[in-house]
Amino acid sequence: MKIRLIFLFLVLSLSTQAEIDLKVYTQEVENGYALFADNGEICPVSVVLNLKLDNMKSTEGGNPTFVIPANQKKFQLTLLSVQNPRKAYEFSFRYQYHYGDALQETYDENFAYYLPYAKESAYLLWQGYNGRYSHQGENALDFSMPIGTPVYAARDGWVVDVVEHNNRNCPDASCGQFNNYLLIYHSDGTFAEYTHIKQNGALPQVGDRVEIGELIAYSGNVGWSSGPHLHFVVFLQRISTRTTLKTQFRIGDGTQIGYLKEQQQYQRGYD
């Protein structure tokens, strides 16, 4: 007699507050089961499976990672086959997932980002890469700017997540849960997050395409913040962590390109 016990455990491991449109499910096939995933997002989503098998074998091994293309339906993750049909068998699995290609290592390191504010404006880079206040081990930038300052897209991309309902702030990590932000996916697989925008301060919606230099939000002082500023970070997303990246910017009239330095003011003199 064959006994089939199927247990499904869902584990989310997210570094943002995002609710990702992903579904993982099984389908009975000859001599076993197939695991599929539907990705309803406009960017890839990565999934890592943790399988527990008894008298069954996976075509992909025990803990594989998959990258599911954007807007993909019925993407096959693995086939689980019964090894001895005369014996009882069972399987269970856990899975974690997040936006992006968790296996990606390369990206366009030479891309020159726009400063994320209006032409003829200049703002102080209060905290730079690996900054002493809150950027230890993180390649992120904090631009000091008054609440309500227009924020512009530093690069073309697609909006994959927006949080703008919060209005609380405090100067420690406990208020990170109240961050408002825009998350934008770029063509080279990287993401940019524009954080601490004011309540209801985002202009595009999830699914919108934004162009470099386009007005996308208004800055604020929301979440983990000790004063009005814009937090800007570019990264490759892993399942439960980020690999933050140093990025070059167009400076002055746009002909000069380089990395920004902490405690210096930078003017954007180009469209």
pTM, entire model: 0.91
CB 218 within 8 A of CB 197: yes
Residues of the chain short of pLDDT 70, as ranges, are: 1-18, 131-136
Burial of 130 (0-12, 13-18, 19+ CB in 10 A): middle
Query: Does any domain span residue 153?
Result: yes
What pLDDT, on the 0 to 100 scale, is given for residue 63? Answer: 80
> Are 169 and 261 found together in one domain?
yes
DSSP letter at 228 equals S
What was the pLDDT predicted at 29? 94
pLDDT of residue 128: 83
Enumerate the β-bridge partners of residue 267. Answer: 122
Q: Has residue 41 been placed in a domain?
A: yes
Q: Residues near 109 by Cβ (< 8 Å), separated by ≥ 6? A: none
In this structure, the answer to whether residues 61 and 143 fall within a common structural domain is no
Looking only at the bridges linking them, the beta strands covering 215-219 and 197-202 are antiparallel
Tell me how far apart the alpha carbons of residues 52 and 58 are, in angstroms, rounded to a whole number: 10
Task: Report yes or no on 105 lying in a domain.
Answer: no
Looking at residue 193, its pLDDT comes to 97
Q: Which of 60, 75, 99 is the last residue of a domain?
A: 99
Q: How many domains does the chain have?
A: 2
Domain range for 71: 4-99
What 3 state SS string does 45-63 have?
EEEEEEEEEECEEECCCCC
CATH number at residue 220: 2.70.70.10
Amino acid at residue number 15 = S
Does some domain include residue 106?
Answer: no
Per DSSP (E only), the strands in 31-137 are 32-39, 45-54, 56-58, 65-68, 72-82, 89-99, 112-113, 122-127
Residues 142 and 202 in one domain: yes
